[in-house]
Amino acid sequence: MIEAAVTISLVPEAKNGPFVFRDDLASACEKVARLGFNAVEVFPRSVDEINATELKRLLARHRLKLAAVGTGAGWLVRKLSLTNPKARVRHDAEQFISAIIDFAAGFGAPAIIGSMQGRIEKDVSRVQALNWLREALNRLGRRAGSAGVPLLIEPLNRYETNVINCVADGVNILKALKAKNVKLLCDLFHMNIEEPSISQSLLKAGKRLGHVHWADSNRHAMGFGHIETAPVVKTLRSLGYSGFVSAEVLPLPSPEDAARQTLKSFRRCFNTT
Which CATH fold topology does 3-270 show?
Answer: TIM Barrel (3.20.20)
Q: Which of 41, 194, 195, 248 is catalytic?
A: 248
Q: How far is CA 102 from CA 49, 73, 82, 96, in A?
A: 14, 16, 18, 10
Q: What is the pLDDT of residue 271?
A: 82
Reported pTM? 0.96
Q: CA distances (Å), 258 to each of 38, 97, 127, 186, in order?
A: 16, 29, 40, 20
pLDDT score for 96: 98
173: left (phi over 0), alpha (psi -120 to 50) or beta: alpha
- CB count within 10 Å of CB 187 equals 25
Instruction: Tell me the CA distances in angstroms from 22 to 27, 54, 200, one per residue in order.
Output: 9, 16, 34
Q: From residue 261, how far is each of 214, 252, 255, 271 by CA, in Å?
A: 11, 10, 10, 15
Cis check: omega of the bond before 253, within 30 degrees of 0? yes
Active site residue 248: yes
Is residue 30 part of the annotated active site? The answer reads no
Per-residue pLDDT at 202: 98
- Residue 273's pLDDT is 56
Structural domain boundaries in the chain: 3-270
Could you list the pLDDT tens digit for every one of the 273 residues in the chain? 899 999 999 999 999 999 999 999 999 999 999 999 999 999 999 999 999 999 999 999 999 999 999 999 999 999 999 999 999 999 999 999 999 999 999 999 999 999 999 999 989 999 999 999 999 999 999 999 999 999 999 999 999 999 999 999 999 999 999 999 999 999 999 999 999 999 999 999 999 999 999 999 999 999 999 999 999 999 999 999 999 999 999 999 999 999 999 999 999 999 865
Q: Which amino acid is at 243?
A: G
The per-residue pLDDT for 272 is 67
Of residues 154, 195, 228, 256, which has the active-site annotation?
A: 154
Q: Is the dihedral of CA 76, 82, 87, 92 positive or negative?
A: positive
Residue 164 three-state SS: coil
